[in-house]
Every structure is written in structure tokens, then in C-alpha cells.
Amino acid sequence: AVITQTAVIADGDWTRPETWRIDRPFAVIDPEADYVPLELSDIAGDSYLPYAKHPAYPVLLMPAWEALGHRGIMLVSAVSAWLAAVAGALIARRIRPGLELPTLWLLGVGSPLIFDAAVIMAHGLAAALMGFVVLTASTLLDLPGRPAVRGPRAIVAVAGTGLLTVLLVMMRSEGFLASIALAAALGLAALRRDAAARTGIRLRWPLAASAVVVALAGVSAYLLDGRLAAALVGDGDASPYTIESTGSLIGGRISRSILQPAAPLSMASSTLLLVACLTAILAAVQLRRGAAARDRGETVDWRPIVMLAAIAAVCAVGRAFFEPSLIIGLVPAFPLLVVGL
């Protein structure tokens, strides 16, 4: 859908709503638009729009399409996934120098990003934008050996978080939820306990300003994105603020995009997957504890870790013998994320 929409608007003036539309074949005998060529298209009378939900994404892909065609769009997706891994590595280096290289490989090869590199749905691009939003915001934090930026650099950082947040929300609906979560985290970080302060709490203004900017940018971009989608569809059947195929924005994203183990759901297959995820998480936690104990000079019993890892591997392999299904939840697809958090 995204590739079709990009190709359509590249052939005309993309600022005009009619340029985004494609005539529906056999509209006379299909007045309800039950049989459009591309699933989940928006309907506008006798026309349909393949991908109008986030108009900024096809517009962003236009230069790549005009330069290299389908290869150009695939290149954007692959580079975006790589940049997401780079952003995660830079965040890890800021928190604890020395973790950047394992983080880069874990995110780039051991996470769902490796599949997003071949998917034209802005997953990798949104992940990269979110990573750089967090990285920019982290420069406002005082970390061991990494003091927060001050003065004009702090102003640039605050403005950067706002700009990146707008781009993030315009690419993916999940960006709105991520922006609100980040704004809340920055707001809490801005409240620092200080014994010398009259109330015991001193407000760190750069972090507070960044929290406000991220929240306003997220809400504004979300509303603007929906208005643009509705304007392109016109009086057609547009639902810019909900995802019809997955329910409400919040409920659908939490249940489907984060927690649901597979689609279609299969009790046996899903159970094996969940057991594999839980045992992999427990094994990773025990491994971290064992490494810490070893650094303290204590004797470590590695047998429970090996046993948990073996159970996880057996369950993961056993799932392959059941009916194929997509792993669509982030936690089941990348259980080590829980350990990292």
C-alpha cells in the first residue's frame, strides 16, 4: 500500500488531495467498496487511497522512489533499521560506556529490527526517530561521567526533542503513545530531591521544558496527522484517530502490538512461545546475577541458567512444528527487551 501510494503521488502534485486517489474498478457493482484492490484502503466515493493514514510517510519516500524506484524505498527501510540500532548503541554508551557494541549487535541482528528492514511500514524509521529522541533528551540528564548540557546547547536539545517527536508521531501511531510516556518520564526526572531546597525538591528546568515540549509536540502532531488524512479522503470513510483493524489506539496497541504472542492465535503454539519467552528472560536475569557474583569473587552455579536456556530453545524449536503464525507482539518477539529494561 505504501509503495503504491508513493508511486501515485510521485506522478502528480502531491499537495492536491485528488492526486492521492485511485479510481475504484467496478465501483458501480461494488458501491460499498468491499472489494478494493488493496486491503485497509481509505474510500473516497468512487476512489480509494492505498495509504492515507500517515500522509507524511509516502511524501518522505518520494525522493527515494524517484531516484531508485522500489530499491530506493527498500534502502530507506534498511538504513532506518540500522540507524535505530545505532541510536540504541549511543544511548547505551551514554548510560554505561562499553555497552555500545553489544547493544548495536543485539538490536541490529537479535531484535525484530532485522525484519523491519525489509518491511515498508515505517517501523524501522519510527524506531530510529524514537531512539534519537531519547538520546537527545538524555543529554539533559546528569549521568556518571556525563554531565548534562547547559546554556545554548540545552536549548538546542529541548528543541531537538520536539522536532524529532513531531516526525515520530507523523510516521507511526505508536509514536503518540511513546511521546506521552517520554514526556511523563522527563517530567519525573525534572523533579530532583534537594535538601537545600525549601520544599525538598528542586525543579530542573531543561528537563521540565523538554517534558512540556515533547508532550505538546506529540499531541499536536497526532492531531495534525489525523486532520491531513481526513482532508485527503474528504467526505469518505476515514477514521484517522483509530486503527479499525486493531481496535482503539491504546487498547489495540497494548494488546496486539506489545503482548499478543501470535496471529492467528493457537493455544499450543502460543503456550510454547510464552514458555520460551519466560524461560529466556529468567535465564538472562540469572546470567546477569551470575556475572555480578563472579565479579565479587563468589562461586556461581551455572546449571540453572543452562537448564532455563535449554527449555527456551526446545520450546522455540517445538513451535515450528505447529501451524505457522506471525509473532506480532514486541515482548514475545524480543523477550530480552524486558531484561534490558
Higher pLDDT: 152 or 203? It is: 152
The span from the CA of 127 to the CA of 168, in Å, is 8
The span from the CA of 189 to the CA of 186, in Å, is 5
Check if the beta carbon of residue 72 is closer than 8 Å to that of residue 121.
no
Peptide linkage before 261 cis (omega within 30 of 0): no
Q: Is the pLDDT of residue 126 over 60?
A: yes
Q: Is the pLDDT of residue 90 over 80?
A: yes
Q: Which three cell numbers stand for residue 44?
A: 473516497
The helix (run of H) or strand (run of E) holding residue 15 is: none
- Residue 327, φ and ψ in degrees, nearest 5: -90, 105
Q: Is the pLDDT of residue 261 over 70?
A: no
Half-sphere exposure of 242 (CA within 13 A, CB side): 9
Determine the distance from the C-alpha atom of residue 106 to the mean position of all C-alpha atoms in its chain, rounded to a whole number: 16
Print the SS3 string covering 275-315.
HHHHHHHHHHHHHHHHHHHHHCCCCCCCHHHHHHHHHHHHH
Indicate the range of 32-41, 88-97, 210-219 predicted with least confidence. Answer: 32-41
Mean pLDDT over each residue of the chain, to the nearest integer: 81
Task: Give, in order, the Cα–Cα distances in Å from 241 to each of 177, 223, 255.
Answer: 13, 8, 18
| pLDDT, position 185 | 92
Q: Is the pLDDT of residue 240 over 70?
A: no
| pLDDT, position 282 | 76
Higher pLDDT: 102 or 267? It is: 102
Terminal Cα-to-Cα distance of the chain (whole angstroms): 34
What percent of the chain has pLDDT above 90? 32
| pLDDT, position 130 | 95
Q: Is the pLDDT of residue 339 over 70?
A: no
- Per-residue pLDDT band for 113 (boundaries 50, 70, 90) equals confident
Burial of 10 (0-12, 13-18, 19+ CB in 10 A): middle
Higher pLDDT: 76 or 242? It is: 76
Which segments within 103-229 are labelled E, that is strand? 191-193, 201-203
| pLDDT, position 303 | 75
Q: Which three cell numbers stand for residue 231?
A: 482532508
Q: Is the pLDDT of residue 237 over 50?
A: no
Q: Is the pLDDT of residue 132 over 80?
A: yes
The span from the CA of 238 to the CA of 42, in Å, is 6
Average pLDDT over residues 318-339: 69
The span from the CA of 47 to the CA of 66, in Å, is 24
| pLDDT, position 168 | 96
Q: Which three cell numbers stand for residue 177?
A: 503513545
Average pLDDT over residues 10-29: 86
| pLDDT, position 242 | 45
| pLDDT, position 275 | 76
Q: Is the pLDDT of residue 65 over 80?
A: yes
- Per-residue pLDDT band for 135 (boundaries 50, 70, 90) equals very high
Q: Is the pLDDT of residue 308 over 90?
A: no
Check if the beta carbon of residue 183 is closer than 8 Å to that of residue 175.
no
Higher pLDDT: 68 or 327? It is: 68
- Residue 27, φ and ψ in degrees, nearest 5: -65, -25
The span from the CA of 298 to the CA of 148, in Å, is 37
